[in-house]
Structure 1
Amino acid sequence: MRKITTLGILTALVLAIASLMANRTSDPPPLTTLVGPFFDADYDVTEKFLSFRKESRFVRLRDGTDLAVDFFVPEDAADDSGSLTTRFPTILEYTPYNRAFALPGMALWERIALRWRTGLKEAIFDRSLSQPVRTMIGLGYAYVVVDMRGTGASFGSQTPLMPRLGSDGAEIVNWITSQSWSNGSVGMRGQSYVAWSQYATASQAPEGLQCIAPGVIMFDTFTEGTRPGGITTTRWLSEYSDHLQAFNLSKNDPDNGFFPVAPVVDEDGDGRWIDEIPLASSGDVTLFTDDDELIYRDGQLREQHYLARAVDEHKDNVLGRRLLEPDMRFSDAIQAFGNDTLSFIDTSPGAMLDKVAASGVSVLNLGGWFDGFLKGTTKLFSSMEQGSGMRMIIGPRFHVPEGVTPPYQDLLGYDGDLASDVVLEEIRFFDWCLKGIDTGVSEEDPVLLYVMNRGWRHEKSWPLERQEIQSLHLGPSGSLEPGIGEPGSDHYNVDFEHTADFGSNDTNRWILMRSPDSLMVRTELDERTLAYETEPLDTELEVTGHPIVDLWVSANQPDADVFVYLSDVSPDGTANYITEGQLRAGFHRMQDPKLQTRGLRPVRPELPWHGFRAEDYDANALANDQIVNLRFDLQPTSWVFTEGHRIRISIAGADAGNFELHPDLCSTGVAGQCSATTLTLHRGTAYQSRIELPVIPLS
């Protein structure tokens, strides 16, 4: 049993040893004092249970695979009203990122400091150290965290996003509802891959699953998670693949942010779990998987070697790098895993929507304006039947962290704690869905947006019904004008070294494991592009929705890539990035968007869709000086351009290091060795190259 005393430790991964010896900090304030002024800080999150019990165990699936599970059950009611409660609604987190971490090898003084500051007997960091999770347990939710097969301390192997993970999740839901501490109602939460697992599980319609709260996840795996516009996100895929497999092999490399997974079984029965992690004695000293003989810290022999055997099975995982191979360049590509075959649509949440809708679960979609998967958030919400149980919240965040980064807090004047704001909304959603409490959720408009440079606002739908599409046309001398100008064209010699990285950590919205440590300023980058901008605005202009570019392009090469960036240019010339989109010209032909849902339901919003199958690709789209229409959407946004600012779009032919360089133009993959490529942008009455902005009237 542990007392629920909020410690303010959100995760063990960032617990530096030096901080353990710092002055002991007082307990931080309750969650509701951290939320922003727009949110209901009076919503009651007073703990109703003062302690909990934790258990770690394996749950065996029908095929014999054992999954590692931690569960936390409330105990010790704060008053008589909860003293008879023994069955609880449950929140499930179903993850590939380790349900708990360990920090072996701490010196004695470090362990003493850890015990003094946190009360932990050893350096095992589980979800109960997270303030949101402790708050939920204290409110009377059981909390369950499960390592997917092929990850953490679970047995088995996987290829990322394989459908089998959804049926595994359904088995876990059924296991939860059979437990003596469960009242039969289950909700799910988590972000990214953990959000994908919610859609995959809900598509199997387990009886006890009532609602899910997926955050920052794609709709279509091919174009949103792998190849936006048909162009491979090489850096993201390679870095993420290595990162995920390091977790899956229980890598012990704290200097680079990797910690071994916490064991499930204390095999020697000494009350310590740390010593169940084998030592790495040969080869790669951060891994124990390449040791011929397993040696343990306490020198004792083991018979079952639970953790070692589980992690050894993870060696059979198919890595994300597989998606970088040339045979995976089209959306209808197939990969094999054991006796199964897997296509991109098999892994796409959008293709699961029909089954998710039929299951009847309520969904709270969570997104961020600078998240690489943002388009997925809006499409998942809009493509479902609307009702009181379908909701969406989008704030000014990246994929990680869950809050607003300091540079954007300053730029936007954000005066709340977005991470706490969203947790409070999750609690209200779960209280309504799982406990039947009238939290006001069902009476509110279902869409909650943070309009950048303005603030939070409820809306009835997405896209906004009152949006007005306003076109700005490419004009002479780099102008961007409301009216169609005289016929003409502009030439751009592609700079293959152009790279859209920001901050001292050289990152952007596509590198989903971190966020830029500065504002995304394109002022200097735009000097390497072909840019068009308006005159200074004489009044403010709100753009909320999906901007679409419609370009007429020719080139001196048979194919090319086109990247478009939308920026806000302040009077001092600073160009702040807002959003972007891209398309390989070979995919210029439009296709039926319902391909994303296997034809089972319309995809909303109605956006340009290019299919991206092998049969959709035209390798000579620009050959023989053909002028081709490229119409594609940018990531959605909600931004107010203030009076005196300019609207700019900048056009590039590469984002080196982040996206692949076009293989037909850059066979070596080296920017300096690419074929000289000139893009020609055509404009005027016959070729109305433009950007279409979803403008919200000031009234």
Structure 2
Amino acid sequence: MWSAANPPESPTAKWRGFKPGSEVLPQGSVHSPGGLPLPCDIVFERDVEVTLRDGKRIFVDVFRPVTGDPVPALMAWSPYGKQGGYWHLDGYPGRAGVPASAISGLNKWEGPDPAYWCAHGYAIVHPDPRGAFESEGDIQTFSPQEGRDGADVIEWIAEQPWSNQKVGMAGNSWLAISQWIIAAEQPPHLSAIAPWEGLLDIYRDLVAPGGIPFTDFMALILSHHYGRNRYEDTLAMLEAHPQLDEYWATKVFDTSRITVPAYVVASYTNLIHVDGTFRAWERLGSAEKWLRIHNTMEWPDFYEHQDDLRRFYDHVLKGEANGWDETPRVRMAILDPGHDDVVDQPETEFPPSRTVTTKLYLDAASGTITSGSPRQESHISYDAPTGSAVFTGDLGDLTVAGPMRLRLWVESDGHPEVDLFVAISKIDAEGEHRVPEWATGLPSPGARGWMRTSHRALDPELSTDLRPVQSHQVRQPLAPGEVVPVDIAIWPMAMRWHAGEKVRIEVTGHDLAVAVPDLPNRSGDNAGHHTLRTGGRYESYLLAPVLPECGQ
């Protein structure tokens, strides 16, 4: 299904017009209010035409250093606009931790800054993909067509006289997701990728996580597509295809087909990308792959780690012997709200192989979490739209690292749907509720999970002990008085609790995330009361990967 895109002339597009040509941007020039002055002269080739394999023409901007030597290139792929666009950091509190002076303003939204990369001998290529702004065709939403188009542009880059025929990719969110899609096409001159937090499965990770429709964020993205034609309307498709069928299967990306070196960045608190990034990294076919898990927010982390990313690209695109190959394959953060987080702990894999899969049991009679299964059956009920059930327990020194499974037994007092939202966090020794931050001043709920119980059926091929995966192919509404077991996937987390602190598990019928600009809370289909049963026949527990050195 397709809908009409907004014209590029719309004020919210902040479009700078269609102006093919070339100029040199001089060193010291400033291109955004308070922005970083250019550290070197930059050749700026604007609205360069590229013809795709099916004859459609798209347009790209190229920024490159003033040199006669061939250089590698990084491509930033998204439909947000080569320059300008609706999205900008000034719409977020404190610019989400990215000072205006940290970037030049020549970068795409969530993309690499040409000012930095050209000064270090790289070209930056900004395509307007199919359908975006003046590019021909219709805007795609994470489709196989995007993969083919991106592969065509990579091969075009390799043919340019300024190119050393080695191309990489970089960027956050859509600019990361597109790397999974394009790299799976295996274009011959794509030499490496660097996805910075990018989901893997549009249905499970974005529009219906846990089976609960989450449409507001995607609606915001679609409402700010600009072009001369149409965009792929994934929300109309969700209404027409509410379960995971053949359409949505085309939007599950096969990262096992990616064989080029990859530097992947993940976090535990991103509101969209957490689980998909980890699953994509786990399935990568690359023999050379690195994972860094940070403890902040994707946008400042991206620009604060440009030097680290450049070490990777200097090694794989320029062939420099700079010691990158000695970088630990995994650098793990361990969150410790109320204390100092551990950052860049070297590991060989994630979750670390030395974790011990451990059951932490829930007891509704006392509202506690214990290491032993309660024998007595009990239950707790709460108002479905507004209430919650909270379980806490001091389990001594404890560190978990990886995805988790929450087993619950659930009953509704007549409503056929039960939408559950789960958060795992900390109560400190003084009784204060402690959670990690998503961004500076913006708390996250902690480790999170969702479940619409009518979608509780699991995919046996994809599910593991620690990561249940819903199939989303059958609907099983609850009958009055029916008690059913559900296995809720809790997104990966590494978090530490000290003796005297309590693990806190909250189960509720409403979204626990803090609403932030452009990322509204998701709503549930709940009415009446939910009842959770524990103990005896209703063994309820959190299955968690526990690090044995948890006392450190």
Q: TM-score, normalised by structure 2?
A: 0.81
2-structure distance, mates of 1:128, 1:658: 26
Residue 355 (str. 1) matches residue 223 (str. 2): no
Q: Identify the residue that residue 489 of structure 2 maps to in structure 1.
A: 633
CA contact 2:155–2:187 (8 Å) conserved in 1: yes
Residue 208 (str. 1) matches residue 208 (str. 2): no
Q: Identify the residue that residue 99 of structure 1 maps to in structure 2.
A: 82
CA contact 1:98–1:153 (8 Å) conserved in 2: no
Residue 379 (str. 1) matches residue 279 (str. 2): yes
Code of the residue aligned with 2:255 in structure 1: it is L
Q: CA deviation at 1:420?
A: 3.9
Unaligned runs of 5+ in 1: 20-24, 29-46, 77-84, 104-116, 119-123, 249-310, 335-342, 404-417, 499-527, 595-602, 666-674
Q: Equivalent of 1:531, from 368, 373, 390?
A: 390
CA contact 2:405–2:465 (8 Å) conserved in 1: no
1-structure distance, mates of 2:268, 2:174: 18
CA contact 2:378–2:533 (8 Å) conserved in 1: yes
CA contact 1:74–1:140 (8 Å) conserved in 2: yes
SS of residue matched to 1:94: coil
Q: Identify the residue that residue 612 of structure 1 maps to in structure 2.
A: 472
SS of residue matched to 1:635: strand
Instruction: Call closer, same or farther: CA 1:100–1:26 in 2, change over 3 Å.
Output: closer
Residue 126 (str. 1) matches residue 113 (str. 2): no
Instruction: Call closer, same or farther: CA 1:606–1:642 in 2, change over 3 Å.
Output: closer
CA contact 2:281–2:291 (8 Å) conserved in 1: yes
Instruction: Call closer, same or farther: CA 1:232–1:541 in 2, change over 3 Å.
Output: same
Code of the residue aligned with 2:174 in structure 1: it is Y
Instruction: Call closer, same or farther: CA 1:159–1:102 in 2, change over 3 Å.
Output: closer
Code of the residue aligned with 2:533 in structure 1: it is H
SS of residue matched to 1:152: coil
SS of residue matched to 1:209: coil
Q: Equivalent of 1:328, from 231, 241, 244?
A: 241
2-structure distance, mates of 1:691, 1:531: 13
Instruction: Call closer, same or farther: CA 1:643–1:5 in 2, change over 3 Å.
Output: farther
2-structure distance, mates of 1:605, 1:474: 18
Code of the residue aligned with 2:228 in structure 1: it is D
Q: CA deviation at 1:396?
A: 2.0
Unaligned runs of 5+ in 2: 1-23, 87-99, 436-444, 513-519
Q: CA deviation at 1:186?
A: 0.5
1-structure distance, mates of 2:455, 2:384: 21
Code of the residue aligned with 2:231 in structure 1: it is N
SS of residue matched to 2:228: helix
Structure with more strand by fraction: 2
SS of residue matched to 2:507: strand
Q: Identify the residue that residue 504 of structure 1 maps to in structure 2.
A: none
Code of the residue aligned with 2:380 in structure 1: it is H
2-structure distance, mates of 1:58, 1:463: 45
Q: CA deviation at 1:27?
A: 6.3
Code of the residue aligned with 2:456 in structure 1: it is H
Q: Equivalent of 1:62, from 53, 63, 81?
A: 53
Map 1:412-451 onto structure 2 (within 5 A): 418-451=301-334
Instruction: Call closer, same or farther: CA 1:592–1:422 in 2, change over 3 Å.
Output: farther
Map 1:600-679 onto structure 2 (within 5 A): 607-613=467-473, 616-619=474-477, 622-655=478-511, 658-662=521-525, 675-676=527-528, 678-679=529-530
RMSD over aligned Cα, in angstroms? 2.8
Instruction: Call closer, same or farther: CA 1:364–1:225 in 2, change over 3 Å.
Output: same
Q: Identify the residue that residue 289 of structure 2 maps to in structure 1.
A: 390
SS of residue matched to 1:551: strand
Q: Deviations over 1:80-115 (max 9, x none)?
A: xxxxx5211111112211111289xxxxxxxxxxxx
Map 1:121-200 onto structure 2 (within 5 A): 126-127=106-107, 132-200=113-181
SS of residue matched to 1:211: coil
2-structure distance, mates of 1:323, 1:555: 30
2-structure distance, mates of 1:455, 1:320: 39
Q: CA deviation at 1:143?
A: 1.5
Residue 559 (str. 1) matches residue 417 (str. 2): yes
Instruction: Call closer, same or farther: CA 1:3–1:89 in 2, change over 3 Å.
Output: same
SS of residue matched to 2:328: coil
Q: Identify the residue that residue 484 of structure 1 maps to in structure 2.
A: 373
1-structure distance, mates of 2:457, 2:123: 50
Q: Identify the residue that residue 468 of structure 1 maps to in structure 2.
A: 356
Q: CA deviation at 1:624?
A: 4.7
SS of residue matched to 1:197: helix
2-structure distance, mates of 1:165, 1:491: 48
CA contact 1:96–1:194 (8 Å) conserved in 2: no
Q: Equivalent of 1:87, from 60, 66, 70?
A: 70
Q: Identify the residue that residue 442 of structure 2 maps to in structure 1.
A: none
2-structure distance, mates of 1:102, 1:561: 36
Residue 226 (str. 1) matches residue 207 (str. 2): yes
Residue 238 (str. 1) matches residue 219 (str. 2): yes
SS of residue matched to 2:118: helix
1-structure distance, mates of 2:286, 2:136: 39
Instruction: Call closer, same or farther: CA 1:320–1:4 in 2, change over 3 Å.
Output: farther
CA contact 1:533–1:649 (8 Å) conserved in 2: yes
1-structure distance, mates of 2:286, 2:192: 14
2-structure distance, mates of 1:368, 1:168: 29
2-structure distance, mates of 1:632, 1:128: 37
Code of the residue aligned with 2:45 in structure 1: it is E
Instruction: Call closer, same or farther: CA 1:605–1:624 in 2, change over 3 Å.
Output: closer
CA contact 2:130–2:137 (8 Å) conserved in 1: yes
Instruction: Call closer, same or farther: CA 1:188–1:604 in 2, change over 3 Å.
Output: farther
Deviates more, 1:58-67 or 1:217-226: 58-67
Code of the residue aligned with 2:378 in structure 1: it is S
Q: CA deviation at 1:490?
A: 1.9
Q: Equivalent of 1:2, from 12, 19, 25?
A: 25
Q: TM-score, normalised by structure 1?
A: 0.65
Instruction: Call closer, same or farther: CA 1:317–1:632 in 2, change over 3 Å.
Output: same
CA contact 1:6–1:131 (8 Å) conserved in 2: no
Percent identical residues: 23
Q: CA deviation at 1:610?
A: 1.7
Q: Identify the residue that residue 584 of structure 1 maps to in structure 2.
A: 452
Q: CA deviation at 1:488?
A: 2.1
1-structure distance, mates of 2:374, 2:360: 10
Map 1:246-395 onto structure 2 (within 5 A): 248=226, 311-313=227-229, 316-325=230-239, 327-332=240-245, 343-349=247-253, 352-356=254-258, 360-371=259-270, 372-385=272-285, 387=287, 389-395=288-294
Q: CA deviation at 1:168?
A: 0.7
Q: Identify the residue that residue 569 of structure 1 maps to in structure 2.
A: 427
2-structure distance, mates of 1:205, 1:61: 16
Q: CA deviation at 1:593?
A: 3.9
Q: CA deviation at 1:239?
A: 2.5
Code of the residue aligned with 1:322 in structure 2: it is A
CA contact 1:485–1:684 (8 Å) conserved in 2: yes
Q: CA deviation at 1:209?
A: 0.4
Instruction: Call closer, same or farther: CA 1:534–1:443 in 2, change over 3 Å.
Output: same
Q: Identify the residue that residue 342 of structure 2 maps to in structure 1.
A: 455
CA contact 1:234–1:658 (8 Å) conserved in 2: no
Code of the residue aligned with 1:52 in structure 2: it is I
Q: CA deviation at 1:462?
A: 1.3
Code of the residue aligned with 2:446 in structure 1: it is I
2-structure distance, mates of 1:575, 1:128: 35
Q: How many residues of Structure 1 are paired with residues of Structure 2 in the alignment?
A: 485
CA contact 1:382–1:604 (8 Å) conserved in 2: no
Instruction: Call closer, same or farther: CA 1:569–1:425 in 2, change over 3 Å.
Output: same
SS of residue matched to 1:554: strand
